Structure formats: C-alpha cells, structure tokens
Amino acid sequence: ENAEVHIKRVQKILPEKGHIGIMSITDKQFGMIKIFQGKKPQIAVNVPQQLEMF
C-alpha cells in the first residue's frame, strides 16, 4: 500500500527526541470527515475605486 512507503520513509528519519504519530485512513473515511467551525471572521477590505475606460 502507498501509505507503507511513506511510513517506512518516516521511520528512516526519526528524530532523536520527540514523537511521531501516523494514522492511516481510507479514502472513504477521509471523505466522511466532518469539519465544524464557529462564525466566519468578518474581513474588512478597503476596495479602492476603479476607473472604467472604454
């Protein structure tokens, strides 16, 4: 499986300190991920006036 190639690559370059965690999921599982967020931030954008020339 393609994930195994990447896992082996990470194992070869493990840092001396710290931890690395890898969780493998299927495409179907990834497609079922639900993402929740609060209110969308209000972005104040100053739009400069544009001149139209024909």
Give pLDDT tens digits for 40-49.
777 777 777 7
Whole-number Cα distances in Å, 26 to 3, 29, 30, 45, 51: 10, 5, 6, 40, 52
> Average pLDDT in the 1-28 region?
90
- pLDDT confidence of residue 33: 94
Rounded-to-integer distance, Cα 11 and Cα 17, Å: 13
Answer whether residue 23 shows pLDDT above 90: yes
Give the pLDDT score at 44. Answer: 74
Neighbours of 7 (CB within 10 A): 13
Report the 10 Å Cβ neighbour count for 3.
12
pLDDT over 70 (residue 54): no
